[in-house]
Structure 1
Amino acid sequence: MDKKRWIIPTVLAAVLIISLVWGYNQFNLRNDYETALINHYQRLFYDTKKHVENLQVSLSKALVSDSKEQNVLLLSQIVNEAYFAQDKLSQMPVAHAEIAKTEKFLTQVADYSYSLIQNHLDGKELTSKQRETLFNLQGNSSNFNKELSLLHDKLIQGNFRETTISSRQRNKLQEANKEMVQTRLVNLEKEIGKSPELIYDGPYSDQILNKKPVGLGNKKVTKNEAERIARQFVGDKKVSKITTFEEGKDMPKAAIPSYTFSIVPKNKSEDMATHIGISKQGGKVVWMANPRGISKNNLSMKQAEERALKFLEEKGYTNMESNYSLRYDGVGVFNFAYKEGDVTIYPDLIKIKVALDNGEVVGFDSSAYLMNHKKRDIQTPTITPEKAREAVKIDFDINSTRLAIIPKGNREVLCYEFKGKYKGSDFIIYINALNGKEEDILQIIKSENGTLTF
């Protein structure tokens, strides 16, 4: 009897201690996730701000430069900074539809600058009208910088990471934080919307940017059907809760109008939600983003690439090959291009982001693929690889040659792709497979973080 008297209290005490330890660990784990998420958004914000500042500076310099060589350098910097800013902005905690104009503005800055580079390479000077357009773009980038600076000041004053407040108060402050980001950037949308459309003869005119997608099919899907597709894409058994984002007023103008959902995984809080867009036409997954924090790099980039390729095959995307990659903030980013026979088709591009801690796919963007993928009647080259080689510098050391289709404005061009080295640097040269004309040159930048092209 004496033993029975102390056994039950001892067991209960042990259970209580285990529960307290488990609860404490879960509390710390949640705080770690919360801190990682906050740090991730802070890095995105500061990176966006840095790229827009660099963009504005380069635009200002281009306005006063009379040197073609200097302008080509400055315009190349503008192209890179605009694309980097757009990539970071797309990962911010803001409804996708509400920053469509801002993203389009950054795309236009990059594309317009690229068209001016082409003009310079053709021996043309900047016209007064082109300088006026650059001046307008510089003004808009200045407005962007001001909004980001005001947002920066507000975030610092808010002190949203104060740990002494209650959980309920902290949640309210986090909502206010998110709403502040949303409001500031939406205010910027209104200003961007007042800007005139860019009109120029370059390869990426506004008409081309707004072309009709050809890879969606004809079927219209309902919101319920789109929700089912979203559940299947992330794994129906993993879904705890799914809600619909309110559509912005500019959604009908989007290149691919979509239903947007927020998906809370099982055993996760709402701040760990995955966001996903399903096209209203065709019911295709246009994009998916899971902004969870990543603390460790357990996988190599090669392992992450294999996981990304397996993911694509599971989702029905076959004949895809990885071309370029980048590692940052615990994520491996991979670009996959479609391949038909022995021809690589670069317009049909899908971007995959893989977490390097456990191999989970945390980002997916098929918008370029859906805009361009179609059944093609690929022409037969009219010149041989040897003839195309004559258009490449004689001392360019070639290590691979293949056929590829590259985008050139509203056209697609069949080219021989020559990869190789010149004076220690890696380049890709594209020679038109029908007429032998040099179509494009890309420089390959390799580092411990991956492979990029410029």
Structure 2
Amino acid sequence: MKRYILPIVLAVALIATGVWGYYQYNERNDYHTYLDIQFQRQFYDLIGHVENAQVDLAKAMVSGASKDMIKHLNDTVFQAYMAQEKLTQLPFEHGTIRTTERFLNQLGDYSTAMVNKSLEGIVLDEEEMGTLSELHSYANMLSQQLIELQQDITTGGVNFGDLRREGNRDLGQLNDRMEKFNLINFQERVQDYPELIYDGPFSEHLTDIKPRLEGEAINEKKALEIIRNNFSEEKIRDIEVVGEIENTPIPAYYVRGTRNGNDGQEVSFAISKTGGRILWHLNPREIGESRLGLEEAIKQAEEFLENKGYENMTSTYTTTYEGQSVINFAYEENDIIVYPDLIKVKVALDNGDIVGLETEGFLINHHERNIEKPEISEEEARERLSSGVEVEKARLAIIPTAGKKEILCYEFKVKYGSDNYLVYIDANDGQQRQVLLMVEQEDGTLIM
């Protein structure tokens, strides 16, 4: 009887192994099906936002009244930024979609700049209207390319979950597949769209500026070490460099890994080749029911930045949507807000996780400044304000302008009627440099 015991045990073990393997196989397939559903939703949303952006832009161009143009341009800004947000959550290698992201970002920026001019009572000139028309054409082109890409994916039986998995194993194969679709065609055709130079909102970086980031050049091995050291608490595994990000102000390594928990959620990073700094971090996990308020989210973001070595950062403006808050931080020196040195932190409101980080503005612009004493006093600057406004708050701030310059200003938060504005008076010559409308919304404050 004993001679049968070992074969029986082995047979049972073999059956158990088979059952376990089958279970794991189904688990893996279920997970990739779940990923596919999530990415499909993001892709549909992306197409919708791009289509809405080009429709809103068309409405703005045919609007006869300034207030109608402002409304439609504001809608364009929202749709462009939401499209950019959805695009970054898709399983495409970051360097491949850089041009598309940049286009969406500048579409939103330029529309914002035209809103600011219209609010000042300035009629857009022929050149500016021509730029809007050209941007509309490119938005329409992108919309068509995305629809064709969606159709190709559907008819080709491509599973987004598998696409993400292939991206981990073989980035070259993923890029070959992308080239068969049409998104890259848009990037090739949009290379020559006009560079948009303007006094954009402070939350965006100056265009075509040489980064001030310094440090030694790092290799791929060092980039992975930086991730492990900076995010050790998240226990990220299977970290690998899957590409390089070029044709950008700060060249970087594109790194992916898997975070323990959250069903093995994939996370991604960009690490600068110079100095080994974290340019951005993205954890596109599903966000649960909100349990944190905005103050708690800001506190989580502040602690995160302090732990990462970013000191003297103060929160400025926030936006909350889909269970997460995006918090803008600006550098503060001697009680002076330095708006160009910007860091954005995205906080999940279900548990306070940091699910997004972007430091490019800070790394490009931050340096030791010799901030001279203002030539005029705050009281003298107040005299330059309209007599019809009520001043609620005043402070010094450094703001960016076109031409890669910075100006020290008095920032006045004022109320006129039922609306709040930010008025910037040059601290040296007393000229009004900028007026921004603060639109208080349920999801945050929109600065226009």
Q: CA deviation at 1:70?
A: 5.0
Q: Which residue of 2 aligns with 1:51?
A: 49
One-letter amino acid of the counterpart of residue 265, structure 1: R
- 1:401 paired with 2:369, answer no
CA RMSD of aligned residues (A): 3.6
For residue 238 of structure 1, what is the aligned residue in structure 2?
A: 235
Which of 221, 226, 229 matches 2:226? 229
> How far apart, CA to CA, are the structure 2 residues paired with 1:362 and 1:315?
15
TM-score, normalised by the number of residues in structure 2 = 0.81
Secondary structure in 1 matching 2:374? coil
Task: Give the unaligned 5+ runs of structure 1.
Answer: 1-15, 162-169
> Equivalences for 1:197-212 in 2 at 5 Å?
197-198=194-195, 202-203=198-199, 209-212=207-210
For residues 116 and 326 of structure 1, what CA distance do their matches in structure 2 show? 21
Which residue of the partner structure matches residue 304 of structure 2?
311
Measured against aligned partners, the alpha-carbon deviations of 1:284-311 in whole angstroms (never above 9, x if no partner) come to 0000001111222222221121111001
Alpha-carbon distance change, 380 to 38 in structure 1, aligned in 2, over 3 angstroms: farther
After TM superposition, the structure 1 stretch with the greater mean CA deviation from structure 2, 321-330 or 125-134, is 125-134
Q: Does 1:294 align with 2:281?
A: no
When residues 395 and 61 of structure 1 are mapped into structure 2, their CA distance, relative to the original with a 3 A threshold, is: same
Q: Distance in 2 between matches of 1:357 and 1:171?
A: 24
Structure 2 residue identity aligned to 1:314: N
Unaligned runs of 5+ in 2: 1-15, 169-173
Q: How much does 1:48 deviate? A: 2.9
Q: Is the partner of 1:108 in helix, strand or coil?
A: helix
Report the alpha carbon displacement of residue 69 of structure 1 after superposing the two structures with TM.
5.8
Alignment of 1:330-345 (within 5 A): 330-345=323-338
**In structure 1, what is the Cα distance between the partners aligned to 2:167 and 2:252?**
26
Letter in 2 for 1:223: E
Contact 1:346–1:404, Cα closer than 8 Å, also in 2: yes
Please tell me whether the aligned partners of residues 289 and 362 of structure 1 are also in contact (alpha carbons under 8 angstroms).
yes
Judged with a 3 Å threshold, the aligned counterparts in structure 2 of structure 1 residues 449 and 155 are, in CA distance, closer, same or farther, namely farther
Correspondent of 1:86 among 84, 87, 94: 84
Paired residue secondary structure (2:243): coil
- Distance across 1 between alignment mates of 2:281 and 2:270: 6
- Equivalent in the alignment of 1:6: none
CA distance in 2, matches of 1:203, 1:438: 14
Shift in CA distance, 130/102, structure 1 to aligned 2, threshold 3 Å: same
AA in 1 matched with 2:334: G
Amino acid at match of 1:189: Q
Tell whether the 8 Å contact from 1:160 to 1:174 is kept in structure 2 after alignment.
no
| Distance in 1, Cα, partners of 2:446 & 2:36 | 28
In structure 2, what is the Cα distance between the partners aligned to 1:237 and 1:66?
54
**SS of residue paired to 1:253:** coil
Matched position secondary structure for 2:430: coil
| Secondary structure class of the residue paired with 2:51 | helix
Is contact 2:77–2:109 with CA below 8 Å preserved after alignment? yes
Q: What displacement does 1:336 show?
A: 0.9
**Displacement of 1:334 after TM fit?**
0.9
Partner of 2:6 in structure 1?
A: none
The yes-or-no answer on 1:424 pairing with 2:418 is yes
In the alignment, which residue of structure 2 is the partner of 1:361? Answer: 354
Q: Identity of counterpart residues, as a percentage?
A: 35
SS of the residue 2:190 aligns to = helix
Tell me if the contact between 1:286 and 1:367 (Cα under 8 Å) persists in the aligned partners. Answer: yes
Deviations 1:93-146 (A, max 9, x none): 221111111122223334444555566678766555544433332221111111
